[in-house]
Structure 1
Amino acid sequence: MAKTLQSAVETLERDKAQLQSRVHSLEQRLMGAQASEEGDKELPPSGDAALEQLREEKEFAEGQINFLNSVIVDLQRKNEELKIKLKKLALSEFNGNDGTDGECAPADHLRAPLVITIKTAPGPPAHLTHHIVV
Protein backbone atom coordinates (compact mmCIF):
# COMPACT_ATOMS: atom_id res chain seq x y z
CA MET A 1 0.00 0.00 0.00
CA ALA A 2 2.82 2.41 0.87
CA LYS A 3 4.56 1.66 -2.45
CA THR A 4 1.34 2.37 -4.32
CA LEU A 5 0.99 5.69 -2.54
CA GLN A 6 4.64 6.49 -3.20
CA SER A 7 4.28 5.77 -6.93
CA ALA A 8 1.13 7.91 -7.03
CA VAL A 9 3.03 10.76 -5.35
CA GLU A 10 5.85 10.43 -7.89
CA THR A 11 3.39 10.47 -10.80
CA LEU A 12 1.64 13.51 -9.41
CA GLU A 13 4.94 15.29 -8.88
CA ARG A 14 5.88 14.65 -12.54
CA ASP A 15 2.48 15.98 -13.64
CA LYS A 16 2.99 19.00 -11.43
CA ALA A 17 6.41 19.71 -12.99
CA GLN A 18 4.92 19.45 -16.49
CA LEU A 19 2.10 21.81 -15.57
CA GLN A 20 4.51 24.29 -14.00
CA SER A 21 6.57 24.29 -17.17
CA ARG A 22 3.38 24.84 -19.18
CA VAL A 23 2.40 27.75 -16.91
CA HIS A 24 5.85 29.24 -17.37
CA SER A 25 5.55 28.85 -21.15
CA LEU A 26 2.10 30.45 -21.12
CA GLU A 27 3.36 33.31 -18.98
CA GLN A 28 6.17 33.90 -21.49
CA ARG A 29 3.69 33.91 -24.37
CA LEU A 30 1.43 36.24 -22.42
CA MET A 31 4.29 38.62 -21.70
CA GLY A 32 5.24 38.57 -25.38
CA ALA A 33 1.65 39.28 -26.38
CA GLN A 34 1.40 42.15 -23.90
CA ALA A 35 4.72 43.60 -25.08
CA SER A 36 3.60 43.48 -28.71
CA GLU A 37 0.28 45.00 -27.67
CA GLU A 38 2.06 47.93 -26.07
CA GLY A 39 4.24 48.32 -29.17
CA ASP A 40 1.29 48.09 -31.53
CA LYS A 41 -1.86 49.72 -30.14
CA GLU A 42 -3.89 48.57 -33.14
CA LEU A 43 -4.01 44.88 -32.22
CA PRO A 44 -6.59 42.98 -34.25
CA PRO A 45 -9.59 41.59 -32.33
CA SER A 46 -8.25 38.04 -32.73
CA GLY A 47 -5.24 39.11 -30.60
CA ASP A 48 -7.58 39.89 -27.71
CA ALA A 49 -9.16 36.46 -28.03
CA ALA A 50 -5.73 34.80 -28.10
CA LEU A 51 -4.67 36.78 -25.05
CA GLU A 52 -7.83 35.79 -23.22
CA GLN A 53 -7.31 32.15 -24.17
CA LEU A 54 -3.75 32.29 -22.82
CA ARG A 55 -5.01 33.72 -19.55
CA GLU A 56 -7.64 30.99 -19.26
CA GLU A 57 -5.08 28.27 -19.99
CA LYS A 58 -2.75 29.75 -17.39
CA GLU A 59 -5.50 29.84 -14.75
CA PHE A 60 -6.51 26.28 -15.61
CA ALA A 61 -2.91 25.05 -15.35
CA GLU A 62 -2.44 26.84 -12.02
CA GLY A 63 -5.65 25.26 -10.74
CA GLN A 64 -4.35 21.83 -11.73
CA ILE A 65 -1.05 22.54 -9.97
CA ASN A 66 -2.86 23.54 -6.78
CA PHE A 67 -5.02 20.43 -6.95
CA LEU A 68 -2.01 18.16 -7.50
CA ASN A 69 -0.19 19.84 -4.61
CA SER A 70 -3.11 19.10 -2.30
CA VAL A 71 -3.30 15.49 -3.50
CA ILE A 72 0.46 15.05 -2.98
CA VAL A 73 0.25 16.43 0.55
CA ASP A 74 -2.71 14.18 1.35
CA LEU A 75 -0.96 11.07 -0.01
CA GLN A 76 2.21 11.90 1.91
CA ARG A 77 0.17 12.26 5.11
CA LYS A 78 -1.54 8.91 4.50
CA ASN A 79 1.83 7.32 3.73
CA GLU A 80 3.22 8.58 7.06
CA GLU A 81 0.16 7.29 8.92
CA LEU A 82 0.61 3.86 7.34
CA LYS A 83 4.30 3.82 8.24
CA ILE A 84 3.45 4.63 11.87
CA LYS A 85 0.76 1.93 11.92
CA LEU A 86 3.22 -0.57 10.45
CA LYS A 87 5.83 0.29 13.09
CA LYS A 88 3.25 -0.13 15.86
CA LEU A 89 2.23 -3.52 14.51
CA ALA A 90 5.84 -4.63 14.21
CA LEU A 91 6.61 -3.49 17.77
CA SER A 92 3.54 -5.18 19.21
CA GLU A 93 4.42 -8.38 17.36
CA PHE A 94 7.97 -8.17 18.69
CA ASN A 95 6.74 -7.56 22.25
CA GLY A 96 4.33 -10.49 22.08
CA ASN A 97 1.14 -8.45 22.04
CA ASP A 98 -1.66 -9.23 19.67
CA GLY A 99 -1.21 -5.85 17.97
CA THR A 100 -4.80 -4.76 18.36
CA ASP A 101 -4.21 -1.90 20.85
CA GLY A 102 -7.71 -2.59 22.12
CA GLU A 103 -9.20 -1.86 18.70
CA CYS A 104 -10.86 -5.26 18.48
CA ALA A 105 -10.78 -8.40 20.56
CA PRO A 106 -9.28 -11.44 18.86
CA ALA A 107 -11.77 -14.18 18.10
CA ASP A 108 -12.01 -16.79 20.86
CA HIS A 109 -12.22 -19.64 18.37
CA LEU A 110 -8.71 -18.82 17.15
CA ARG A 111 -7.16 -19.34 20.58
CA ALA A 112 -5.66 -22.69 21.56
CA PRO A 113 -6.89 -24.07 24.89
CA LEU A 114 -4.40 -24.18 27.74
CA VAL A 115 -4.43 -27.55 29.49
CA ILE A 116 -3.56 -27.55 33.19
CA THR A 117 -3.13 -30.84 35.05
CA ILE A 118 -3.20 -30.72 38.84
CA LYS A 119 -1.88 -33.69 40.80
CA THR A 120 -3.03 -34.24 44.32
CA ALA A 121 -0.91 -35.46 47.21
CA PRO A 122 0.65 -38.93 47.01
CA GLY A 123 -1.87 -41.65 47.09
CA PRO A 124 -4.29 -42.99 44.57
CA PRO A 125 -3.86 -41.24 41.24
CA ALA A 126 -6.54 -38.60 41.08
CA HIS A 127 -5.89 -36.17 38.25
CA LEU A 128 -7.91 -33.09 37.60
CA THR A 129 -7.67 -31.66 34.14
CA HIS A 130 -9.08 -28.27 33.22
CA HIS A 131 -9.20 -26.70 29.82
CA ILE A 132 -8.86 -22.95 29.99
CA VAL A 133 -8.97 -20.71 26.96
CA VAL A 134 -6.53 -17.84 27.34
Structure 2
Amino acid sequence: MSIVVADMHTIIWYLRDSSKLSAIAIASLDAAIAAGDCIYISSISVVEIAYLVEKIRLPEAALNQLIEALSDPNIGFAVVPLSLAIAQAIRQLPRDIVSDMPDRIIAATALNLKLPLVTRDEKIRGFHLLKGGDILLIMLIYI
Protein backbone atom coordinates (compact mmCIF):
# COMPACT_ATOMS: atom_id res chain seq x y z
CA MET A 1 0.00 0.00 0.00
CA SER A 2 1.46 3.35 -1.10
CA ILE A 3 -1.27 5.72 0.05
CA VAL A 4 -0.03 9.06 1.41
CA VAL A 5 -1.43 12.36 2.65
CA ALA A 6 0.11 15.42 0.98
CA ASP A 7 0.09 18.95 2.34
CA MET A 8 -0.76 22.03 0.28
CA HIS A 9 2.81 22.84 -0.79
CA THR A 10 3.43 19.25 -1.80
CA ILE A 11 0.37 19.17 -4.05
CA ILE A 12 1.14 22.51 -5.69
CA TRP A 13 4.74 21.55 -6.33
CA TYR A 14 3.86 18.05 -7.53
CA LEU A 15 1.41 19.46 -10.06
CA ARG A 16 3.37 22.56 -11.08
CA ASP A 17 7.10 22.28 -10.33
CA SER A 18 8.29 18.95 -8.99
CA SER A 19 11.88 20.23 -8.88
CA LYS A 20 10.95 21.77 -5.51
CA LEU A 21 10.28 18.30 -4.05
CA SER A 22 12.87 15.90 -2.69
CA ALA A 23 13.52 12.66 -4.52
CA ILE A 24 11.87 10.69 -1.71
CA ALA A 25 8.77 12.89 -1.81
CA ILE A 26 8.42 12.46 -5.57
CA ALA A 27 9.03 8.71 -5.25
CA SER A 28 6.35 8.43 -2.56
CA LEU A 29 3.79 10.33 -4.61
CA ASP A 30 4.66 8.51 -7.83
CA ALA A 31 4.49 5.13 -6.05
CA ALA A 32 0.99 5.87 -4.79
CA ILE A 33 -0.22 6.68 -8.29
CA ALA A 34 1.65 3.76 -9.91
CA ALA A 35 0.12 1.33 -7.40
CA GLY A 36 -3.36 2.65 -8.13
CA ASP A 37 -3.55 4.04 -4.60
CA CYS A 38 -4.57 7.53 -3.54
CA ILE A 39 -2.76 10.69 -2.69
CA TYR A 40 -5.06 12.13 -0.06
CA ILE A 41 -5.47 15.87 0.26
CA SER A 42 -7.14 17.44 3.27
CA SER A 43 -10.14 19.58 2.35
CA ILE A 44 -8.41 22.48 4.11
CA SER A 45 -5.63 22.32 1.49
CA VAL A 46 -8.15 22.91 -1.28
CA VAL A 47 -9.49 25.88 0.68
CA GLU A 48 -5.94 27.19 1.22
CA ILE A 49 -5.18 27.01 -2.49
CA ALA A 50 -8.42 28.82 -3.40
CA TYR A 51 -7.60 31.47 -0.78
CA LEU A 52 -4.07 31.98 -2.11
CA VAL A 53 -5.44 32.35 -5.64
CA GLU A 54 -7.87 35.01 -4.37
CA LYS A 55 -4.97 36.84 -2.69
CA ILE A 56 -2.99 36.56 -5.95
CA ARG A 57 -0.23 34.58 -4.22
CA LEU A 58 -0.86 31.64 -6.54
CA PRO A 59 -1.94 31.77 -10.18
CA GLU A 60 -5.48 30.74 -11.10
CA ALA A 61 -3.89 27.89 -13.06
CA ALA A 62 -2.79 26.26 -9.78
CA LEU A 63 -6.38 25.87 -8.62
CA ASN A 64 -7.49 24.75 -12.07
CA GLN A 65 -4.76 22.09 -12.18
CA LEU A 66 -5.82 20.81 -8.78
CA ILE A 67 -9.47 20.65 -9.80
CA GLU A 68 -8.52 18.79 -12.98
CA ALA A 69 -6.35 16.35 -11.03
CA LEU A 70 -9.13 15.72 -8.51
CA SER A 71 -11.58 15.13 -11.35
CA ASP A 72 -9.33 12.69 -13.22
CA PRO A 73 -9.76 9.13 -11.87
CA ASN A 74 -6.45 8.11 -13.48
CA ILE A 75 -4.43 10.49 -11.30
CA GLY A 76 -5.60 9.16 -7.95
CA PHE A 77 -6.04 12.31 -5.89
CA ALA A 78 -8.83 12.30 -3.31
CA VAL A 79 -10.05 14.96 -0.89
CA VAL A 80 -10.46 13.95 2.74
CA PRO A 81 -13.25 15.97 4.35
CA LEU A 82 -12.85 17.35 7.85
CA SER A 83 -14.49 14.93 10.26
CA LEU A 84 -15.10 14.58 13.97
CA ALA A 85 -12.29 12.01 14.16
CA ILE A 86 -9.85 14.44 12.53
CA ALA A 87 -11.01 17.22 14.86
CA GLN A 88 -10.27 14.94 17.81
CA ALA A 89 -6.86 13.97 16.40
CA ILE A 90 -5.90 17.68 16.38
CA ARG A 91 -5.66 17.47 20.16
CA GLN A 92 -2.61 15.20 19.78
CA LEU A 93 -0.71 18.10 18.19
CA PRO A 94 0.63 20.64 20.71
CA ARG A 95 -0.68 24.06 19.73
CA ASP A 96 2.52 25.76 20.84
CA ILE A 97 4.47 23.72 18.28
CA VAL A 98 1.96 23.42 15.41
CA SER A 99 -0.12 26.59 15.81
CA ASP A 100 -1.43 27.17 12.28
CA MET A 101 -4.93 25.67 12.02
CA PRO A 102 -4.62 24.40 8.42
CA ASP A 103 -1.33 22.68 9.30
CA ARG A 104 -2.94 21.13 12.36
CA ILE A 105 -5.84 19.82 10.27
CA ILE A 106 -3.48 18.35 7.66
CA ALA A 107 -1.29 16.65 10.28
CA ALA A 108 -4.37 15.40 12.15
CA THR A 109 -5.71 13.98 8.88
CA ALA A 110 -2.54 11.89 8.47
CA LEU A 111 -2.66 10.87 12.14
CA ASN A 112 -6.30 9.86 11.91
CA LEU A 113 -5.79 7.87 8.71
CA LYS A 114 -2.48 6.42 10.01
CA LEU A 115 -0.84 7.34 6.73
CA PRO A 116 2.46 8.99 5.82
CA LEU A 117 2.38 12.77 5.53
CA VAL A 118 4.45 14.37 2.78
CA THR A 119 5.28 17.84 4.11
CA ARG A 120 7.91 20.53 4.23
CA ASP A 121 6.42 22.15 7.33
CA GLU A 122 9.19 22.65 9.87
CA LYS A 123 6.79 22.94 12.80
CA ILE A 124 5.25 19.57 12.04
CA ARG A 125 8.77 18.21 11.65
CA GLY A 126 9.57 19.74 15.06
CA PHE A 127 6.63 17.88 16.56
CA HIS A 128 7.94 14.71 14.95
CA LEU A 129 11.26 15.17 16.71
CA LEU A 130 9.63 16.06 20.02
CA LYS A 131 7.18 13.18 20.10
CA GLY A 132 9.70 10.43 19.37
CA GLY A 133 7.38 7.44 19.58
CA ASP A 134 4.37 9.04 17.93
CA ILE A 135 3.03 7.74 14.65
CA LEU A 136 4.30 10.87 12.91
CA LEU A 137 7.86 9.81 13.67
CA ILE A 138 7.47 6.77 11.45
CA MET A 139 5.38 8.39 8.82
CA LEU A 140 6.75 11.81 7.89
CA ILE A 141 8.20 12.09 4.42
CA TYR A 142 10.30 15.21 4.05
CA ILE A 143 10.27 17.37 0.99
Q: What's the TM-score once normalised by structure 2's chain length?
A: 0.20
Judging by fraction of residues, say which structure has more helix.
1
Q: Which entry has the higher C-alpha Rg, 1 or 2?
A: 1
Q: Point out which structure has higher relative CO (alpha carbons under 8 A, 6+ apart).
A: 2
